[in-house]
Amino acid sequence: MVCPQAFLLPLTLASISPSSFLRTSFLRQIRPSWSQLRPSRAHRAKMPDTQTAEGATPAVHSPERPWIEHTVAKEINATREEAFDLYCQLPMHPRWSGLFRHVEWIDESARISKWTLRKLGITLSFEARNIIEQRPHIIAWESIPGRGAVANRGKVEFLPSTASDPYQPSCLMRMSVAYSIPGFVSRIFRTAWLSRFIEGQLMGDANRFEREVIKERQGKEMLVAAGGN
């Protein structure tokens, strides 16, 4: 399951009212003026009621809560098997995601987990189910309705590397996350500057994950070497 720091904004904003939205101290630091964010009257007349990500189920979600999706990709120094096996260890995710404070299995056999985050004095949690696990190709999840602050879903894929060095272990890690949030907030999240911010957070998680994979490999190599001695 992908668990980027980018979830902080949608998870938090989904639980607050429009009147208190712009009073959030974090957003005061990063938002441009409201006149820059608010679409013109002519543009609003042309805007669709929903923005549904590929594969979404419109019947489940209200038109006031469209899907917003972000995707990043990075070449990492790890085999697909190494990366997949580490990512499947959900309780270890806080090691590379500074947002999530605790992750635990609720029902490991059913692949249901609980994610707790704390940031800026806010504590939130949600439950999710891994719906696809195909080693070493893909892990996909979706949140469980009624068990969290905001509907979310996503996937991480480990694809064959495009690197030129055949002797260096590597693969292409591609992460996608989508969340369903109130319509007034979704207009903010459609702006290019905020999309870049969220995708930057996703890439930061990918960089930290790569370091963890390398550490895991080096630790195993040391154990093998010690056993050999």
Domains of the chain are: 61-88+132-228 (3.30.530.20)
Compute the distance between CA of residue 168 and CA of residue 105 in angstroms, rounded to an integer.
Answer: 34
103-148 pLDDT, tens digit per residue, is 999 999 999 999 998 777 888 899 999 999 999 999 999 999 988 8
Compute the distance between CA of residue 113 and CA of residue 122 in angstroms, rounded to an integer.
Answer: 20
Contact 154, 1 (CB under 8 A): yes
Kindly tell me if the per-residue pLDDT of 210 is higher than 50. yes
Helices (H), the chain: 8-13, 18-21, 25-30, 34-37, 41-46, 80-87, 183-189, 192-228
Kindly tell me if the per-residue pLDDT of 6 is higher than 80. no
Kindly tell me if the per-residue pLDDT of 4 is higher than 50. no
